[in-house]
Amino acid sequence: METLRIGIVGIGNMGSAHAVQLFEDRVKGARLTAVCDIDRNRLQWAKERLSDKVLLYENDEALLDSGEVDAIIIATPHNFHPVIAMKAFERKINVLTEKPAGVDTAGVAEMNRAAEESGVVFGIMFNQRTNQLYRKLHDLVREGALGDIKRFVWIINNWYRTQAYYDSGDWRATWNGEGGGVLLNQCPHNLDIWQWIMGMPARLRAFCNVAHYHRISVEDDATIYAEYENGASAVFITSTGECPGTNRMEISGTLGKAVIENGSLKLFLLERDEREICFTSKEGMPKEKVNCRTIEQEGPDGGHLEILQNFTDAVLQGKELLAPGTSGIFSLSISNAAYLSAWKDEWVTLPVDAEEFTRLLDIRKKEEKVADKKVRKEKMTGEYSNRWSVRW
């Protein structure tokens, strides 16, 4: 195979952006051959914006059975991601899914098993893994530059949203439409970066405040406190109701600390291990030498295009995926555990009890009263918005 024929399932805001990038040949070795959507207005947009050579379908199965695609990008509402992916796996079609991997870990685990059995390439659009500073910190932690990790703290709330935003779609901020609030809409990238750098915690306690700042039925404010097997801890704070917001990550270890904020990574490194200092120093409050270093972000992230190119290269050339689709279950496990902790008002161990989570989520779906929203027509720009990238 010299050219990867890609189809897109769902051409709303995100899907239309992927479509235009592929159509304009910004991904080497890939070609957009088909799109589908159940909304005829979106198909009309595709007809006007894309060439007649791009086939239009009204549902995913018609596209998958067309014989015109070697791979698909899934850009539908969250709960459909595993369903459509598994249909593709049955047909030996490669898959790149938008985040999150799904709504519940039970469905995502089933999807992951189907992916592994199919033998096709499966990726997820965790475009923030292309950020230079996150990559650098990931490598530093893996190399032991900070020593044994003690604490991880991330305040990430610089995605302020108004009531108009939530009223722009009847699926937004609902258990039935999105499957959650800020943790499942804005935070999947960040929860992924957290576990990508730190690994998975052993247990957590979460506080998810529903409708704290907006008239919605899901959480718009959340705080997670997590603990690791080695005694390290993590705190993750987020909301869509604070303006101006903050994006600040700090990791401390026995050899110093690292801080990412305002587009720079600052390292504060000790010359000897703090545990050694603690038990060998004769002073109660010693002044240890700290070596400071700043790493600035150089240029924009590779973002969505880098993930698209990497996925294409993985299919055509066997290159390693930056974000394997099967890794999507980890960030979802954290958000599922956070919801379960908040609902039960208690600590939750990981991996989460998938059956219990699904049962309690279904109760919320059944009890949910759908608000009468004046829904605005979704604008399909065909461009990647900066709100989908790392923002400082």
pLDDT of 77 over the 80 cut: yes
Provide, rounded to the nearest whole percent, the portion of the chain with pLDDT above 70: 96
pLDDT of 373 over the 70 cut: no
AA letter at 33: T
Domains and their CATH numbers in the chain = 4-128+302-323+380-384 (3.40.50.720), 129-300+331-367 (3.30.360.10)
User: CA 68 to CA 33: how far, in whole Å?
Assistant: 7
What is the pLDDT confidence band of residue 137, given thresholds at 50, 70 and 90? very high
- Region 127-139: what's the mean pLDDT? 97
pLDDT tens digit sequence for 151-201: 999 999 999 999 999 998 888 899 998 999 999 999 999 999 999 999 999
Residue 170 Ramachandran class (φ > 0 left, ψ -120 to 50 alpha, else beta):
alpha
DSSP assignment of 55-120 equals EEESSHHHHHTSS--SEEEE-S-GGGHHHHHHHHHHTT-EEEEPSSS-SSHHHHHHHHHHHHHHTS
pLDDT tens digit sequence for 308-327: 999 999 999 999 999 999 99
pLDDT of 259 over the 70 cut: yes
**How many other CB atoms are there within 10 angstroms of residue 15's CB atom?**
24
Residue 159 in 3-state DSSP? coil
